[in-house]
Amino acid sequence: MRVGIPKEIKNHEYRVGLTPASVFDVVQAGHEVIVETQAGCGIDFDDDDYRAVGASIVDTAADVFAGADMIVKVKEPQAQEVAMLEARHILFTYLHLAADKPQTEGLMASGATCIAYETVTSPNRSLPLLKPMSEVAGRMSIQAGAHYLEKEQGGRGILLGGVPGVAPANVVIIGGGVAGLNAAQMAVGLRADVTIYDISNDRLAELSTNFGATIKTGYASKAAIAAAVQDAHLVVGAVLVPGGAAPKLITREMLKTMKRGSVIVDIAIDQGGCFETSRATTHDNPVYEEEGIIHYCVANMPGAVARTSTFALNNATLPYVIQLANKGPEKAMADNPHLAAGLNVSDGKIRYEAVAEALDLPFN
Ligand SMILES: NC(=O)c1ccc[n+]([C@@H]2O[C@H](COP(=O)([O-])OP(=O)(O)OC[C@H]3O[C@@H](n4cnc5c(N)ncnc54)[C@H](O)[C@@H]3O)[C@@H](O)[C@H]2O)c1
């Protein structure tokens, strides 16, 4: 199969669909890889790095789309990319179609086979191609929180770990899934005082076993959260209701009870956010203040650490890229129902029920 890697064109997107190391494995499996010039330059992969592992470099995205059978990307295709898709193409990337009718209709019109990273499943019912980005965002949340707690950034002037003789900061994490777990690991590593709240008792038990005495856990009742945020210096929102908007767990009234100069990091902002006062921000201007509390609400946190994120994403996507290339999409999906769960659009039809429902379009 001919696998194509166009340069990402979404604003501030430096990640790339396949690293040179991944291209090496795809080429070794007997496939051709076509890479747009400078596709990886934002994270220091140059054209020679791709040539060295057997890829051919072409001048434009149009050359990639014309020469390839399968397009591997990171972000959802932009309008000019959708326009280059044809029925013979397989598209493998994040799509997030439920909130994007124009893109969905464009993909339907193309006739291409469109497989979304975010709906591929795994035997333990998790979402293996979303997980690496939650890991990155969870870990980053503590880094960002520590930064904005500094006085010069408008924060309270607190060091997360304290020092001998001075108490550490109080970090409250709401939602102890993948992002919450990774946030806790970083906060514990910095010696902060960490409490994780969740509504899943099973998850709380796992976290408690995992972390031992280095964290506290709490059931996320309204009263418990209201009490916890009053004493917190950093609150991380990391809840997820699969397929739904994030519940607003921290109201403006609760925010008013917090210490001035404290920081909230709302990782769940990509699902609408779990603080009443959250609104999405960008890496250009990541924070704003409400009720004396600094809000960090960047909807694509992993983009800031594009090199780490690209490697993390490739570690998860590469086995599926190779399955698709080796077997072709029909056989690959017939053999692997978890990959088949990624199919969102093909032959002009929506193949993912939740997307059809969300957009009020027919499901086939
Ligand atoms: N901003 C970003 O750049 C970025 C990047 C990656 C992921 N995310 C988002 O981070 C969020 C967390 O993702 P994840 O992969 O960790 O999800 P996950 O499913 O692994 O974990 C979510 C946790 O939230 C808990 N939860 C659900 N409702 C709750 C409630 N009312 N109170 C307390 N806990 C509750 C669940 O029990 C679960 O343990 C998602 O919204 C995801 O889209 C954002």
Residue ranges lining ligand 1, Cβ < 6 Å? 133-134, 137, 174-180, 197-200, 203, 220, 238-241, 246-247, 249, 267-271, 299-302
Tell me whether residue 49 is one of the annotated catalytic residues: no
Q: For residue 350, list its beta bridge partners.
A: 345, 363
Strands 349-350 and 343-346: antiparallel
**pLDDT tens column, 5-46:** 999 999 889 999 999 999 999 999 999 999 999 999 999 999
The model carries a pTM of 0.93
Q: For residue 196, list its beta bridge partners.
A: 173, 217
Tokens of 305: 């650490």
Residue 351 has pLDDT above 90, yes or no: yes
Tell me whether residue 338 is one of the annotated catalytic residues: no
* Residue 200, CA distances (Å) to 132, 197, 205, 210, 241 in order: 22, 9, 9, 15, 12
Q: Which helix (H) or strand (E) holds 34?
A: strand 32-36
Q: How far apart are CA 363 and CA 353, in angstroms?
A: 6
Q: How sure is the predictor about 121, in pLDDT bands with cuts at 50, 70 and 90?
A: very high
The answer to whether 61 touches 38, Cβ cutoff 8 Å, is no
Q: How far apart are CA 11 and CA 299, in angstroms?
A: 13
pLDDT at 243: 65
Q: How far apart are CA 336 and CA 278, in angstroms?
A: 39
Side-chain-facing half-sphere of 171: CA atoms under 13 Å: 37
Considering the chain, what percentage of its residues have pLDDT values greater than 70? 99
Q: Phi then psi for 76, rounded to 5 degrees? A: -60, 145
- Report CA(102)–ligand 1 centroid distance (Å): 27
The answer to whether 97 touches 345, Cβ cutoff 8 Å, is yes
pLDDT at 26: 98
- Closest residue CA from atom 9 of ligand 1: 268
Q: For residue 265, list its beta bridge partners.
A: 236, 296
Domains recognised in the chain with CATH numbers: 2-120+306-359 (3.40.50.720), 131-299 (3.40.50.720)
Q: How sure is the predictor about 73, in pLDDT bands with cuts at 50, 70 and 90?
A: very high
pLDDT at 77: 97
**pLDDT tens column, 321-338:** 999 999 999 999 999 999
Residues 289-310: b if buried by 16+ CB within 10 A, e if exposed: ebeebbbbbbbbbbbbbbbbbb
Give the other-Cβ count within 10 Å of 360's Cβ: 7
Type of residue numbered 349: K
* Residue 278, CA distances (Å) to 167, 240, 270, 282, 344 in order: 29, 15, 11, 13, 30
- Report CA(198)–ligand 1 centroid distance (Å): 10
- How many residues are present in the chain? 364
Considering the chain, what percentage of its residues have pLDDT values greater than 90? 95
Average pLDDT over residues 74-100: 95
Q: Which helix (H) or strand (E) holds 320?
A: helix 306-335
Ligand 1 probe mutation, 267, 269, 281, 297, most atoms within 8 A of CB: 267
Tokens of 173: 């994490």
**pLDDT tens column, 190-231:** 999 999 999 999 999 999 999 999 999 999 999 999 999 999
